[in-house]
């Protein structure tokens, strides 16, 4: 295989809550424990990455990868409002040091879906105070760790709330119209790039409201992965801008950006207006708030087709992943090219991957996706790195541990790690 040029980041990604375990001060942990939770299981010990990060980073490095994207957990660092935990910052300092000891570039995300429980009790991601709270946290992390970093992502998939609002509406419509609600729910869930159980959410709605009120003081807590209002959408971007400013004030050298969940939106005859409107919501309207960023994290898993009636299902007979996404690695190249038309900073693929128990399909996916990345670079696009999702088979949010996204298998009983062939294949693309 042809290696990328030296300096191109070839890595894998994780999120703290999905791999670390026992994230007890977070909103997600609280929701997982509700009697009528929408989670199929609790995160629990997850992959015990909090204690086994050295082993995991060594596996990554030994396979040839040169970068690791991971998130620091706000709920660990600030478990109570205004009270930071020095021991937790020191933990992440050791993770960064471990990366560097193995020749791996650490790329840190400040917020990957989970928030401190106290933040949600104060109104969460629809509350004005969250902008300042997030900036304070970002500034603290930057002052403590920024001198050892070159890249910081402020917010993972800042556009996820609007995507969830759209899919929730679509799910309800499908559930009302379909003769078999379960089947409709399955196909709806397959069109959003995060593990959600909309069917279970609807079934538990009346019970969950009372339970959420007891835990958060709000029957519909405004967690980051909630249906977002337009005002809340703007608030997330303002939080990003405030965090960017706080990071730059502490560490001007650090490159700052956010990540967006982006589909390859393909109009079929008669679907052009639907596709255009979807791209405006998914990407274009964020441009005024990210043009000052050093880079954009592009996160893509599949394509979405639009016809005269709106969004269409995957083509008949198409290969589907465990998440009910269409297997379509070509989507990444298409999205990178489209994004580069309007965003002129560096581009980093911060997530791209496939949920499958068949690692040969993951190997094929990686090969086709990276061929597209290489074509983009050849045409002058400023693509600076590729992070596969995910390093480990981990906790896929509401879907629990059933999804196999990892380059490494984790035995759920023993926590033993077993690298899959795809890990070495990906590492083979890294330049010397």
pLDDT means per 10 residues in the chain (432 residues)?
A: 93 98 98 92 97 98 98 98 98 98 98 98 98 98 98 96 72 53 50 57 71 91 92 96 98 98 97 97 96 97 95 94 95 98 97 98 98 98 98 95 97 98 98 79
Q: Where are the domains of the chain?
A: 9-427
Under DSSP, is residue 376 helix (H, G, I), strand (E, B) or coil? helix
For the whole model, what pTM was predicted?
Answer: 0.93
Q: Is the dihedral of CA 11, 17, 22, 24 positive or negative?
A: positive
For 5, counting Cβ atoms within 10 Å of its Cβ (0-12 exposed, 13-18 middle, 19+ buried), the class is exposed
Q: Which of 157, 211, 282, 396 is catalytic?
A: 157
The rounded distance, in Å, linking the Cα atoms of 166 and 265 is 15
Q: How far apart are CA 114 and CA 107, in angstroms?
A: 18
User: In this structure, are residues 428 and 64 in contact, taking their beta carbons and an 8 Å threshold?
Assistant: yes
Q: Is 41 helix (H, G, I), strand (E, B) or coil?
A: coil
What is the per-residue pLDDT for 184?
47
Q: Which residues pair with 419 in a beta bridge?
A: 408
Task: Pull the structure tokens for residue 134.
Answer: 């997030």
Q: How far apart are CA 411 and CA 394, in angstroms?
A: 10
157 is annotated as an active-site residue: yes
What is the Cα–Cα distance from 28 to 41, expressed in whole angstroms?
Answer: 12
Residue 316 dihedral angles phi and psi, to the nearest 5°: -55, 130
Phi-psi region of 26 (alpha: psi -120 to 50; beta: other; left: phi over 0): beta
272: tokens are 């052009």
- Contact, 376 vs 386, CB < 8 A? no
How far is Cα 72 from Cα 386, in angstroms, rounded to an integer? 20
Give the separation between CA 371 and CA 389, rounded to whole angstroms. 17
Distances 333 to 284, 326, 383 between C-alpha atoms, Å: 18, 16, 11
CATH of 9-427, one of 3.20.20.80, 3.40.50.11930, 3.30.360.10, 3.40.50.300: 3.20.20.80
pLDDT score recorded for residue 412: 96
Q: Is the dihedral of CA 72, 295, 11, 41 positive or negative?
A: positive
């Amino acid at each position: 295989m042809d290696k990328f040029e030296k300096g191109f980041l070839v890595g894998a990604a994780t999120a703290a809550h999905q791999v670390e375990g026992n994230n007890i001060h977070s909103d997600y942990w609280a929701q997982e424990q509700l009697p009528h939770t929408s989670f199929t299981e609790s995160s629990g010990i997850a992959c015990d990455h909090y204690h086994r990060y050295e082993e995991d980073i060594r596996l990554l490095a030994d396979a040839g990868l040169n970068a690791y994207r991971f998130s620091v957990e706000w709920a660990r660092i600030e478990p109570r409002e205004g009270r930071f935990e020095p021991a937790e910052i020191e933990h992440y300092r050791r993770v960064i040091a471990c990366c560097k000891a193995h020749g791996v570039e650490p790329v840190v995300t400040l917020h990957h879906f989970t928030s401190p429980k106290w933040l949600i009790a104060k109104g969460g991601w629809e509350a004005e105070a969250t902008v300042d709270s997030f900036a304070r946290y970002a500034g603290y992390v930057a002052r403590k760790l920024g001198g050892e970093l070159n890249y910081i992502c402020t917010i993972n998939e800042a556009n996820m709330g609007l995507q969830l609002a759209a899919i929730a509406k679509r799910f309800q419509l499908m559930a009302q119209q379909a003769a078999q609600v379960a089947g409709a729910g399955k196909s709806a869930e397959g069109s959003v790039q995060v593990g959600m159980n909309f069917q279970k959410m609807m079934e538990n709605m009346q019970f969950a409201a009372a339970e959420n009120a007891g835990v958060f003081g709000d029957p519909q807590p405004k967690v980051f992965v909630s249906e977002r209002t337009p005002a809340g959408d703007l608030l997330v971007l303002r939080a990003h801008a405030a965090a960017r400013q706080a990071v730059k004030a502490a560490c001007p050298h650090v490159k700052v950006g956010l990540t967006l969940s982006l589909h390859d939106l393909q109009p079929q005859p008669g679907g052009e207006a639907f596709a255009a409107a979807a791209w405006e919501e998914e990407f274009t309207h964020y441009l005024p708030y990210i043009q000052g960023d050093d880079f954009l994290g592009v996160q893509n898993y599949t394509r979405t087709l639009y016809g005269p009636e709106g969004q269409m299902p995957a083509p008949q007979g198409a290969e589907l992943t465990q998440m009910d996404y269409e297997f379509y690695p070509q989507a990444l190249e298409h999205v990178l090219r489209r994004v580069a038309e309007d965003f002129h900073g560096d581009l980093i693929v911060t997530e791209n991957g496939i949920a499958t128990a068949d690692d040969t399909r993951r190997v094929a996916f990686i090969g086709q996706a990276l061929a597209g990345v290489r074509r983009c670079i050849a045409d002058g696009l400023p693509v600076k790195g590729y992070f596969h999702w995910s390093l480990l088979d981990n906790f896929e949010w509401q879907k629990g541990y059933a999804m196999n996204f990892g380059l490494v298998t984790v035995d759920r009983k023993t926590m033993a790690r077993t690298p899959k062939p795809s890990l070495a294949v990906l590492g083979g693309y890294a330049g010397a």
